[in-house]
Amino acid sequence: MKNRFKGKFRQIKKPDKERSSVRKDNSKRTAFFVWLLIIGMLFIATVSILLSINTRSTLNESNQSIEARENEEVKEEIPHASANEFLSSFVREYINVPNESAALDERAKNIKEYMVFNEAFNDDRNPLYNLDGVSGTRTLETFNLFNIEDKGDVSLYQYKVTFKNQVEREVEKEVKKGKKKEVEIETETEEKENTLLLNIPIIYENGLFSVSAIPYFTKVPSLAGNIEYEKETIGLDEYNGNEKENIAVFMNTFFEKYSTESIEEMAYLMEEPQTLNGSFLFEEISDLMVYIDGGNYKVSLEVIFRDELTNIQQVNQVEMTISKNGNNFYVEEFNYI
């Protein structure tokens, strides 16, 4: 019975499940992923462009920086001490002009050694070397470096020079000999001194110098100016107490020692010892003003020294900060103003 039931059960087949002919709509999902992909690609492209622009800008800045450094390296900084040494010899050769043919030829040869190497200055006919019609001499008296101007590739060195021009002339003079007068030829020397600014343009390369153009003279400019200036006032309360007289006594004692004593002795009276060590004699102080400066005193005064030999006086204004310990004063700060 049981076996018969099993047999019937095996004979019953489970019907196949029919698949639905209606498919699920995935278009929205597909469109979403497509747009997401497009947006992502646009984002990556934008970021790439920005990074490219930034990289190019950085690269350009780096290249400009490198070029600037290279340009700086190309233009060597002129060592002024060496340039002055070079030009000191040139100034002597240039200013000194003899009145003798062989000496003029030697001068021209020497000056040529200082000039740049080009067609103009290699030509012996250059006016720099030929001084036609010379009838006197020019002699250098003094010179000193006045100013330096940077003009790009060329540096202009200006020297204040004083030179003397001399011309010898033959003149006829009547000379009395006994009762007769005779005419004799005498030589007279006419002199004229000039002080001018000698302007010398030079170039510099690999530790060497050359004069790049013919030097020229200009008037020496004045360096004095009407510059308004008021000394800063001491913003402290003035002191007129009992110690003012004691401070005045100390000031006289201090400057007596300051003018004559050694540094070692002055160390007992001041924080940073100074001394004139006998160069001047102390004469007097004047215009003494005392102010309260915290726990110390600020002192402003005029001190007069005098040279013992010539009696020439030296007047200076001084500001000092002094402290007091017991009955003793001590100079904490000392300044000429």
Mean pLDDT across the stretch 51-61?
A: 67
Please tell me the predicted confidence (pLDDT) of residue 188: 83
Is there a contact between 313 and 306 (Cβ–Cβ < 8 Å)? yes
Span 205-263, pLDDT tens digits: 999 999 999 999 999 999 998 889 888 888 899 999 999 999 999 999 999 999 999 99
Instruction: Give the mean pLDDT of 129-150.
Output: 93
Give the pLDDT mean for 155-169. Answer: 95
Q: Which fold does the domain 243-336 belong to in CATH?
A: Nuclear Transport Factor 2; Chain: A, (3.10.450)
Cα–Cα separations (whole angstroms), residue 285 to 17, 71, 256, 305: 129, 60, 11, 9
Architecture of the structural domain at 80-163+193-218: Roll (3.10)
Residue 320 CA, chain-centre distance (Å), reads: 32
Low-confidence winner among 63-72, 125-134, 263-272 (lowest mean pLDDT): 63-72
Is pTM beyond 0.75? Reply is no
**pLDDT on residue 189:** 83
Degrees, nearest 5: CA angle 235-259-298: 15
Amino acid at 63: N
Q: Among 8-22, 23-37, 52-66, name the one with the lowest average pLDDT.
A: 8-22
pLDDT averaged over every residue in the chain: 86
Asked if the domains 80-163+193-218 and 243-336 are classified in one and the same CATH topology, the answer is yes
Q: How confident is the model at residue 14 (pLDDT cuts 50, 70, 90)?
A: low
Q: Is the pLDDT of residue 9 over 50?
A: no
Report domain extents, the chain. 80-163+193-218, 243-336
Q: What is the DSSP string of 204-269?
A: EETTEEEE-S--EEEPPPP--------PPP--S-B--STHHHHHHHHHHHHHHHHHHS-HHHHTTT
pLDDT band at 58 (very low <50, low <70, confident <90, very high): low
How many C-beta atoms surround the C-beta of residue 236 within 10 A? 15
What span, in angstroms and rounded, lies between the C-alpha atoms of 298 and 337? 14
Lowest mean pLDDT across 21-25, 91-95, 117-121: 21-25
Least confident of 87-101, 172-186, 216-230: 172-186
